[in-house]
A = this chain, B = another copy of it.
Amino acid sequence: MTANRPDNPAAASSDRLAALRAALAEAGLTGFIVPHADEHQSEYLPPSAERLKWLTGFTGSAGTAIVLADTAAIFVDGRYTLQVRAEIDEAVFTPLNVADNPPTKWLAARLKAGERIGYDPWLTTMSGARRFAETCRAAAADLVAVGENPIDKLWRDRPDPPLGAVSLHGIEFAGEAAADKIARLRDAIADKKADAAVLTQADSIAWTFNLRGDDVAHNPAPLAFAVLPADGKPTLFVDGRKLSNTVRVAIAGLAEIDEPAALSERLNALGEGKARVLLDPHTTAEAIAEAIRAAGGTIVEGSDPASLPKAKKNSTELAGARRAHVRDGAAVVRFLAWLDGAAPAGTIDEIAAADRLAEFRAETALRDGSELIDLSFGTISGAGPNGAIVHYQATPATARTLAPDTLYLVDSGAQYRDGTTDITRTVAIGRPSTEMRDRFTRVLKGHIAIATAVFPVGTTGAQLDSLARVSLWRAGLDYDHGTGHGVGSFLSVHEGPVRISKLGTVALEPGMIVSNEPGYYKAGEYGIRIENLVVVTPSEKVAGGERDLLAFETLTLAPIDRRLIDKALMTAEETAWLDAYHARIAPAIAHLLDDNERAWLTAATQPL
């Protein structure tokens, strides 16, 4: 309880927008772009970077507002089209779905010759700035980089940037010394004929230097920048107040340490030295590229050199992931056993269920001699129709009770020192309908198609994505999200560059951990998703086979609700996979369960 008036950005957005427009007019700008972003293109922002929320009230993890003199719109993806309407004042901002109305298209239709659209080059990637610049150029308008973000001048009680303590990620978890990683990156930078690279993504820096942090929720990567020369010592630009003496000494063995404010000077020096600097145009702030260019340097565009090495987990990280999944699977099994007992009373709501699951995770970690550091994202706890909202976040106003004869979808994950988890289970509360069982079984067939896929080295996620959809397609159904995303090692739960989706152009390589999460959503009725994490592994050579093959090993250990499966739709091979998967669970996790939980697990993992 607090006596302060809570901040209510939606109610304030009319005033804030008016103030912003006045500031823009004073600066000679006719519009301004407000992305959900910080200088590191983080998915989870520190409160100090929540400018989009301050202006509009929208709290989702992705979105962009554009303010023009007489109109303003906010663009969100399919996950947030319902949420955005609930959070913003539609009289002030028009909510639009980016799939139908990309910001550039909307802007192109409204821009007049001579207009000056402002943007913050620290919050916009090189490729994003290029797209907006092209849009403006086509309309004979200008895209103008602002020196200081006008929102920061108006936002009086803006929080300070976070000062989460930086910690060392020991070799027993990382599996490779930071010095060795840095040497690998140096080679990659030299291969690109670049003199240096600038790392701007928090998780790339965390991985490279074997550091973790506590700046933002759910993602244990410290906010920092790094410059890596092809020859010589790297520099880590990090607020000194985040570093204990011990951590400082450890970093000093690897890198120079400087304040983030010193980065601009360093970029300038690189430019003046005519350096060729490797930058990832999809993740690097345009301000960084422009500083180097303006001082005379050359940009070499290429992917973040840490991105692919980070995605390929080494044997220590994989062993950690397996330990984390034993503990996490046990926590989920305890939760599911509790839920089966508690839900029929009709008193559990979505928030209570999510809270109970978090408690099980914390308790089970202690029971395992470990520690739950954080959840890896805000739990998606969706009862009945709320399960159909893909990125649903329950609030007291929306939370439903888990009612009889409905489905309950729970998508959750944890950050442990040895690994990051992400699991979705869909559970029958009471008696499921025939349709629910049909849909669940089709989603399961898609899940199994990925779990059992074997594919040649070089295959991309885009090539596998449709295997998860064929069973749904046959019934005239589909889902509007990718089938899988990369997952970090005690890092981001959404980690690039690999994914299983139409857009997954990166080849799958051994050690990559990705999610396998097909779904089906019936708006207003129920949602289904079945998600395990899998790791890419070399597959045994087939007799007579000519190609080196890869396959997936499933890491997640928790039963899939047998009550929702229509066995008649399953092939013998699919049933065999499910039975074998279920048979793996008890031997791995039973030591973390009590007798009742063990009995529940035995019943839940009977052969189909």
* Residues of the B chain whose Cβ atoms lie less than 8 Å from the Cβ of A478: 456, 546-547
Whether B462 lies near A541 (C-beta < 8 A) is no
Size of the chain A interface, CB-CB below 8 angstroms: 28
Say which residue of B455, B456, B470, B544 sits within 8 Å of A467 (CB atoms). B470
Please give the distance in Å from A267's CB to the nearest CB on chain B: 21
Chain B residues with Cβ below 8 Å from A546 are 476-478
B456 touches A544 (CB 8 A): no
A476 touches B435 (CB 8 A): no
Verify if A5 is at the interface (C-beta below 8 Å from B).
no
Q: Quick check: is A463 within 8 A (CB to CB) of the other chain?
A: yes
Q: Which of A457-477 contact B (CB under 8 A)?
A: 459-460, 462-467, 470, 473-477
Instruction: Tell me how far the C-beta of A356 lies from the nearest C-beta in chain B, rounded to whole angstroms.
Output: 34
Contact with B along A540-557 (1 / 0, CB 8 A): 011011110100000000
* CA gap between A28 and B476 in the complex, in Å: 63
On chain B, the residues within 8 Å of A462 by CB distance are 462-463, 502
Flag if A547 contacts B454 (CB, 8 Å). no
| A197–B607 alpha-carbon span in the complex (Å) | 64
Name A520's closest neighbour in chain B (CB-CB).
B546
Given the known interface contacts A462-B462, A463-B465, the answer about A455 and B476 at a Cβ–Cβ threshold of 8 Å is no
- Contact A547 B463, beta carbon cutoff 8 Å: no
Cα distance A183–B456 in the bound complex, in angstroms: 47
What's the least CB distance linking A330 to chain B, in Å?
34
Contact A464 B466 (CB under 8 A): yes
Copies of this chain per assembly: 2
Q: Are A545 and B475 CB-contacts (below 8 A) given A460-B502, A462-B463?
A: yes
Residues 248 to 274 of chain A near chain B (Cβ within 8 Å): none
In the complex, are the beta carbons of B542 and A463 less than 8 A apart?
A: no
Once the chains are docked, how many angstroms separate the CA of A473 from the CA of B466?
A: 15
With A465-B463, A502-B463 as known contacts, state yes or no: A474 contacts B435, CB within 8 Å. Answer: no
Cα separation A453 to B464 with both chains bound (whole Å) = 15
Q: Which residue of B lies closest to A460 (CB)?
A: B502
Q: How far is the CA of A460 from the CA of B470 in the complex (A)?
A: 14
Interfacial chain B residues near A454, Cβ < 8 Å: 473-474
Q: A460 contacts which chain B residues (CB < 8 A)?
A: 502
Q: Which of B459, B465, B541, B542 contacts A474 (CB 8 A)?
A: B542
Q: Are B475 and A435 in contact (CB under 8 A)?
A: no
Measured CA separation A460–B501 after assembly (Å): 12
The contact string, 1 if C-beta is below 8 Å from chain B, for chain A 205-249, is 000000000000000000000000000000000000000000000
- A549 with B473, Cβ < 8 A, contacts A435-B544, A478-B456, A502-B460 known: yes
Contact call A473/B502, Cβ cutoff below 8 A: no
- Selected contact of A466 from candidates B467, B474, B475, B545, CB within 8 Å: B467
Q: Which residues of B contact A542 (CB under 8 A)?
A: 474-476
A228 to chain B minimum Cβ distance, whole angstroms, is: 21
What is the bound-complex CA distance between A478 and B541, given in angstroms?
Answer: 14
CA–CA, A459 to B466, complex, Å? 9
Q: How far is the CA of A474 from the CA of B547 in the complex (A)?
A: 10
List CB contacts (< 8 Å) of A430-472 with chain B: 435, 453-456, 459-460, 462-467, 470
A246, chain B: closest CB distance, angstroms: 44
Measured between alpha carbons, how far is A545 from B473 in the docked complex, in Å? 9
How far in angstroms is the closest Cβ of chain B from A20? 31
A544 surroundings in chain B (CB, below 8 A): 435, 475-476
- Bound CA–CA A478/B466 (angstroms): 18
* A549 CA to B542 CA, complexed, in Å: 36
Report the minimal beta-carbon distance from A471 to chain B, rounded to whole angstroms.
Answer: 11
Q: How far is the CA of A546 from the CA of B475 in the complex (A)?
A: 8
Chain B residues closer than 8 Å to A474, beta-carbon distance: 454, 542
In the bound complex, CA of A546 to CA of B455 (Å): 31
Is A545 within 8 A of B476, CB to CB? yes
A456, B466: Cα distance in complex, Å = 11
Q: Which residue of B lies closest to A463 (CB)?
A: B466
User: Complex: how many Å from CA A475 to CA B460?
Assistant: 19
When the two chains form their complex, are residues A477 and B545 in contact, meaning their CB atoms are under 8 A apart? yes
Assembly CA distance A473 to B449 (angstroms): 13
Bound Cα distance A467, B473 (Å): 13
Query: Is B473 a contact of A456 with CB atoms below 8 Å?
Result: yes
User: Which residues of A464-499 are within 8 A (CB) of B?
Assistant: 464-467, 470, 473-478
Residues of B within 8 A of A435 (CB): 544
A544 to chain B, nearest CB (A): 7
Chain B contacts of A545 at CB under 8 A? 475-477
A–B complex contacts, Cβ < 8 Å, 19 sampled? A453-B470, A454-B473, A454-B474, A456-B473, A459-B466, A460-B502, A462-B463, A463-B466, A463-B502, A464-B466, A467-B470, A474-B542, A475-B542, A475-B544, A475-B545, A476-B549, A477-B546, A478-B546, A478-B547
Given contacts A454-B474, A455-B473, A478-B547, 19 further A-B contacts (CB under 8 A): A453-B470, A456-B478, A459-B466, A460-B502, A462-B463, A462-B502, A463-B466, A464-B466, A467-B467, A467-B470, A473-B547, A474-B542, A475-B544, A475-B545, A476-B541, A476-B546, A476-B547, A476-B549, A477-B546
3 A-B pairs closest in CB distance: A476-B545, A476-B542, A463-B466
